[in-house]
Amino acid sequence: MMKQSPLTHLWFHNPGQFGIRLAPERFRKELHRNHPDLEVTWNSHLERWQVFAKSPTINHPICRGWRLLFVWKDIDGGYLPLDERLFAMIATVDGQQQGDGKKYIDRIISEMHRDELKREAQRSQETIDLAMPSWHHSQISVAQFGKSNGSKFSRYHA
């Protein structure tokens, strides 16, 4: 079995690692204005930006003193540039802005519930949309064109 290269580990590309590319200086200045304990690095293996938080209690040989928060990518895993969307994402995952952990978890649970309701409504509408042609086809229709007078079978054989 072949040993995996450290370059493939997400945590290898942390700000404490020698030779790791950091985000552009203008971006880092703006980031450090609100979040001085965060750093953004380039993962050359994934070709994506990663956001790390300073965490002195972490003492792993690959990643000393840094905790990986997330890899900056779109919903399909594609590349995203460093822009205001990253700051918005940091604000949504920052538990300190919520006041305390309970408020943060309550907000996450309410967002999950809201998303589930949206999915259920969409699923119900899709089911109705798929069923309507079959329902219309099953309706009694005697006339080939124009207004129907109903089913002759039900009038004469009832």
In tens, the pLDDT along 75-90 reads 888 898 999 998 888 8
Residue 41 banded pLDDT, cuts 50, 70, 90 = very high
| d(C-alpha 62, C-alpha 64), whole Å | 6
Segment of 1-5, 14-18, 120-124 carrying the highest mean pLDDT: 120-124
Question: What is the pLDDT at residue 112?
Answer: 87
DSSP three-state, residue 149: coil
Q: Which residue has the higher pLDDT, 17 or 142?
A: 17
Q: Where are the domains of the chain?
A: 6-93, 96-133
| d(C-alpha 107, C-alpha 57), whole Å | 28
Residue 21, φ and ψ in degrees, nearest 5: -80, 125
- % of residues, the chain, pLDDT over 90: 18
pLDDT at residue 134 above 60? yes
| d(C-alpha 111, C-alpha 105), whole Å | 10
Q: Could you report the per-residue pLDDT of 95-131, keeping only the tens digit for each?
A: 656 666 677 778 778 888 998 999 999 998 888 888 8
Please state, rounded to an integer, the average pLDDT across all residues of the chain: 81
Q: Which two tokens stand for residue 53?
A: 């938080």
